[in-house]
Amino acid sequence: MSPLPSGPLTGATALYAATRRLSEAGVADPGRDARRLFAHAIGVDPGRLTLVLPEPVEGEALAAFEALIERRCAREPVSHLTGSRAFYGRRFRVTRDVLDPRPETELLVEAALSEPFGHVLDLGTGSGCILLSLLAEMPDARGVGVDVSEAACAVARENAAALGLSDRAHISVSDWVSRVEGVFDLVVSNPPYIAQEEMAELAPEVRDWEPSGALTDGGDGLSCYRAILDGAQEVLAPGGRLLMELGAGQAEAVGTLAVARGFAPIALIPDLDGRDRVIVLGMPHSGF
């Protein structure tokens, strides 16, 4: 592994050397990650980085950057190193206790916002990125976010406070709907959907650093859908919508599980790769 050059050096040189180290460590997009970590280490907005690259970098800033590059070489995710991730136009705090919010989950948020709602429930809220984005975009709505992990709930509460949404977002521990009270016209979830047997194939950033309880159900990848579909029947208002993110190749199986429980299939929404990513289901007006 090539070390960073010693002695006074410019931001551009430090960035070049760091990019090489990340590349040698197998990081997928070394240039992008090096830039984000450099911006974080020197405390500038990533969009302004080009302006400061010709300047010398030394002392604490250089040491901080080297430490970040070292950790990234061990495949720690960038969001853990910077402590945050941008999602649907807002910044969310991210720790090892929550799933790193994914860009594809923004599709679920967008689909949920396509119709008005007043009371939303987010099952498996994690960082709170789905619930809090929905509430931020829908100023008259209120919502509940639940997670089986108390540590995840603490992160979601922090994010709610940082976004000024604590008065409209109630975050609490619950095994799916077991401790949920009330009725909702919108239920959303991005459940752990990776089958246990697929876990070994994941990138080290995901497999080694993200909470396994946020990734897999420990079984066939469908058991959380079964539990959520069963639970949603208890808390969805007649005419309400249930939106769930889907793993690769799960659309048909989840659709079958939903229809068998009396849900009306409304839509399957593909992601940019053309894979069915979100399923939209309706609660019949007559109830089940």
With 0-12 / 13-18 / 19 or more C-beta atoms within 10 angstroms meaning exposed / middle / buried, residue 266 is middle
The helix, strand and coil proportions of the chain, stated in percent and rounded to the nearest 5, come to 40, 20, 35
Q: Which stretch binds ligand SAM (CB under 6 A): 1-9, 51-59, 124-132, 200-208?
A: 124-132
CA angle at residue 169 from 277 to 213, to 5 degrees?
50
Rounded CA gap, 126 and 190, in Å?
Answer: 9
Q: Which parts of 190-219 interact with ligand SAM (CB under 6 A)?
A: 190-192, 213-214
- Is 247 a binding residue for ligand SAM by CB under 6 A? The answer is no
Phi–psi pair at 26, nearest 5 degrees: 90, 15
The structure tokens listed for 111 are 């689909």
Q: Shortest Cβ distance from residue 8 to ligand SAM (Å)?
A: 42
- Is 175 a binding residue for ligand SAM by CB under 6 A? The answer is yes
Rounded CA gap, 226 and 254, in Å?
Answer: 8
Residue (146 or 251) nearer to ligand SAM, CB: 146
Which of 228, 202, 212 has the alpha carbon at shortest distance from 152? 212
DSSP label at 109?
A: H
Q: Which stretch binds ligand SAM (CB under 6 A): 95-103, 157-165, 179-187, 262-270?
A: 95-103
With CB under 6 A, what is the number of residues at the site for ligand SAM?
Answer: 22
Residue (33 or 210) nearer to ligand SAM, CB: 210
- Is 250 a binding residue for ligand SAM by CB under 6 A? The answer is no
- Is 148 a binding residue for ligand SAM by CB under 6 A? The answer is yes
- Is 120 a binding residue for ligand SAM by CB under 6 A? The answer is no
Q: Residue 13 is which amino acid? A: T
Contact residues toward ligand SAM (CB under 6 A) are 98-99, 101, 105, 124-127, 129-130, 146-149, 152, 175-176, 190-192, 213-214
